[in-house]
């Protein structure tokens, strides 16, 4: 046993105790559950899509998606948002989850933006849709209050709101 600095805990470093976690009930229960990556693999996701789904916690998923949008469509980054042709776009990106499909979260009325661009990491490509801020808040059957008050904003799940674009070319034309 050795003492770890900054800790009052003594941790065993004997080799026969390595990997002991792998025999715990908690680990054994979790071990055979399907992960998000497993699901994407089973659905035929490309290696590039798998890389997006598996973005490590040290990298911001939304920053990667915003960078992709800038490269593909000529958006410019402005704080947390993107701009194009003098219009401000909120970006909402999602991957499929095992339990609930996908969801768009934290859309707030009190923030300044003109449009929301939704990017779904589908199994073989990215899917895009765009809605105006007004459309978001005029569809209470789709967008629900998140949490107990305005602080969390609005959310919806398993819906591609606004106009769906089936190709980059179509979205590019719409953005001009």
Average pLDDT in the 129-154 region? Answer: 82
> Which pLDDT tens digit goes with each residue over 22-58?
888 888 888 888 888 999 999 999 999 999 999 976 7
Whole-angstrom distance, CA of residue 95 vs CA of residue 83: 23
Range of the domain at 69: 47-175
Percent above pLDDT 70 for the chain: 84
More confident residue, 176 or 42: 42
pLDDT averaged over the chain?
Answer: 84
Whole-angstrom distance, CA of residue 138 vs CA of residue 25: 48
Classify residue 31: in a domain, yes or no. no
Residue 100 has pLDDT above 70, yes or no: no
Classify residue 34: in a domain, yes or no. no
More confident residue, 147 or 32: 32
Residue 12 has pLDDT above 60, yes or no: no
Classify residue 64: in a domain, yes or no. yes
Residue 103 has pLDDT above 70, yes or no: yes
Classify residue 19: in a domain, yes or no. no
Q: Domain count for the chain, please give it.
A: 1
Residue 171: name the closest of 129, 131, 134 by CA.
Answer: 129
CATH number, domain of 77, equals: 3.40.1350
Tokens matching residue 118: 């939704």
On whether the CB atoms of residues 158 and 102 are closer than 8 A, the answer is yes
Instruction: Name the pTM for this structure.
Output: 0.79
More confident residue, 89 or 141: 89
Classify residue 156: in a domain, yes or no. yes
What CA dihedral angle connects 95, 100, 101 and 102, to 10 degrees?
-50
Classify residue 77: in a domain, yes or no. yes
Classify residue 29: in a domain, yes or no. no
State residue 8's pLDDT score: 53
173 confidence band (pLDDT: 50, 70, 90): confident
Residue 69 has pLDDT above 90, yes or no: yes
Classify residue 87: in a domain, yes or no. yes
More confident residue, 24 or 100: 24
């Amino acid at each position: 046993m050795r003492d770890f600095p900054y800790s009052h805990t003594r941790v065993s470093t004997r080799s026969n105790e390595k990997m002991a976690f792998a025999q715990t009930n908690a680990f054994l229960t979790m071990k055979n559950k399907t992960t998000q990556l497993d699901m994407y693999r089973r659905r035929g996701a490309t290696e590039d899509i798998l890389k997006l789904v598996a973005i490590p916690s040290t990298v911001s998923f939304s920053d990667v998606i915003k960078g992709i949008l800038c490269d593909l469509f000529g958006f410019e980054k402005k704080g947390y948002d993107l701009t194009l042709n003098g219009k401000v776009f909120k970006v909402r990106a999602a991957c499929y989850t095992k339990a609930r499909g996908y969801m768009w979260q934290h859309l707030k009325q009190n923030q300044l933006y003109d449009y929301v661009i939704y990017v779904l990491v589908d199994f073989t490509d990215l899917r895009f849709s765009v809605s105006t801020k007004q459309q978001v808040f005029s569809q209470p059957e789709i967008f629900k209050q998140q949490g107990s008050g305005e602080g969390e904003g609005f959310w919806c799940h398993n819906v591609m709101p606004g106009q769906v674009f089936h190709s980059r070319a179509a979205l590019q034309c719409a953005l001009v």
